[in-house]
Amino acid sequence: MREYLKFYIDGKWVDPAEPKTAEVINPATEEVSGTISLGSKADVDKAVAAARKAFPGWSATSVKERLDLLKAIQAEYANRQEELGKAVTEEMGAPISLGCGFHTGLGAGHLQTAIEVLENYKFEEQRGPTLIVKEAIGVCGLITPWNWPLNQVTVKMFPALATGNTMVLKPPQLAPYSAQILAEIMDKAGVPAGVFNMVQGKGSEIGTALSRHEDVDMISFTGSEPVGAQIMKDAADTIKRVGLELGGKSAWIVLDDSKLAEHVGGATSNMMVNSGQTCSAGSRLLVPESRLDEAVEVAKQAAQAVTVGDPNGNFAMGPVVSKDQYNTVQDYIRKGLDEGAKLVAGGPGRPAGLEKGWYVQPTVFLGTNDMVIAREEIFGPVLVMIPYKDLDDAVEIANDSMFGLGGYVSGEDVATVNQISRKLRTGAVWINGGFDFHAPFGGYKRSGNGREWGEYGFDEYLEVKSLIGYAEAE
């Protein structure tokens, strides 16, 4: 049983201002796995004051000093990487192979990327009579979700740290364990007091307090569209910068070629990774109408091949994160049936033999783009297949969404997949399974604003200053 009752503020583990706790539920067992403290505005005020006090000194450090610290963090992260993976499995139900694999690998990758970018990043550039200087924005409030807890924390924390900012982290209440271990890593690595602070608690209290705080210069939030909109409203009175990475309903376009079956099967299996709890998941699978029967059969077999069970066992998919999330996904599956979508695989209720735990059947529907299940983000292992007449129709369907976070194109003809990828109105397009830690990630439309990952992730945390008429002193 885990018990994390202190917050990390000003380089010390401290008691909350008001003693209040919450239980954390293991989604695989529905049993209590630990207890955390819930913070208040008073804790936020204390953390922000520590970050504000530390900012002048940390922002004035050299690139070498910040690199040395990032490398010290990297060593501690490596020492505790397996522990981090097990924490992810316990807190949000990811299979242990995924928790100790891609989940922790993403955190390590963002840390290594921050080091690589910092080694070459230009904070100053002379343009004619003007020196353009990029300076740390200040105190950053980092508000992160539960679905990829290590990824979402590290993709914010390390670029903010590398660019000379101080910060207050608000981890997800549903998945707080991995963030607690990260805070211990930061402390062990020697992060100066006040540079990194962490307060656990409810988003409605801690997130709101950070968003409204006059001494917070920036909010970086990953989560749902409604909460992102509220954060923008809360931040408006203090005119702070707000970076948002929100929801998605990404289309995966499969071309009509000899690898159609391979690509349909891969897209279906990919949708079920992390129990479908991925904002950029390819939840709309677009296939050629002329080969619809073949594509449906392949998707059916791929979904039925996804094993579901105890995340500590040898299964491909664990539970969704909570009872509420389970109920939400079940509601969407029922809506799909009510709308007349054809059920290809899965359906309502738990998989056979699983009576406890928030397990969802890997589900595939055949539907149309105007259905609720094709318009709204379900955030579960539910795929909607949609036929297209030709490639222009595929692009039109893909872009017919209020979201614009990600897109996918799979096909043998390089020129065609490249052409389609250029037409998609999304912040990122994955072509035939590509992956790049340095590629900017963020959304069009209601999927948010700003970009994370790589060099563009650094830009989010920097102000730009023009020194007009600047000349080097002789």
Give me the chain's average pLDDT, please. Answer: 98
Distance (Å, rounded) from C-alpha 373 to C-alpha 157?
Answer: 34
Number of residues that make up the chain: 474
The torsion of the CA quartet 177, 278, 445, 234, rounded to 10 degrees, works out to: -20
pLDDT in tens, 404-416: 999 999 999 999 9
Question: What per-residue confidence (pLDDT) applies to 473?
Answer: 65
Question: What per-residue confidence (pLDDT) applies to 297?
Answer: 98
CA nearest to 41, candidates 240, 232, 216: 216
Continuous segment of H or E residues that includes residue 466: strand 462-468
pLDDT in tens, 256-266: 999 999 999 99
Residue 171 clears pLDDT 60, i.e. is over it: yes
According to DSSP, residue 370 is labeled: T
Domain boundaries, the chain: 2-246+447-468, 251-436
Residue 474 clears pLDDT 70, i.e. is over it: no
Q: Does 245 participate in catalysis according to the annotation?
A: yes
20's CB contacts (< 8 A; 6+ apart) are 37, 38, 40
Residues 251-436, CATH architecture? 3-Layer(aba) Sandwich (3.40)
Taking the whole predicted model, whether its pTM rises above 0.85 is answered as: yes
pLDDT in tens, 231-257: 999 999 999 999 999 999 999 999 999
Confidence of residue 458 (pLDDT cuts 50, 70, 90): very high
Superfamily of domain 2-246+447-468: Aldehyde Dehydrogenase; Chain A, domain 1 (3.40.605.10)
Percent of the chain with pLDDT over 70: 100
Question: What per-residue confidence (pLDDT) applies to 239?
Answer: 97
For residues 331-349, average pLDDT: 98
Question: What per-residue confidence (pLDDT) applies to 270?
Answer: 98
For residues 432-442, average pLDDT: 96
pLDDT in tens, 365-417: 999 999 999 999 999 999 999 999 999 999 999 999 999 999 999 999 999 99
What's phi and psi for 251, nearest 5 deg?
-95, 140
Burial 147-158 (b: 16+ CB within 10 A, else e): bbbbbbbbbbbb
Residue 384: alpha-carbon gap to chain centroid: 22
Check 90, 205, 225, 245 and give the catalytic one. Answer: 245
pLDDT in tens, 56-106: 999 999 999 999 999 999 999 999 999 999 999 999 999 999 999 999 999
Question: What per-residue confidence (pLDDT) applies to 471?
Answer: 83
Confidence of residue 472 (pLDDT cuts 50, 70, 90): confident
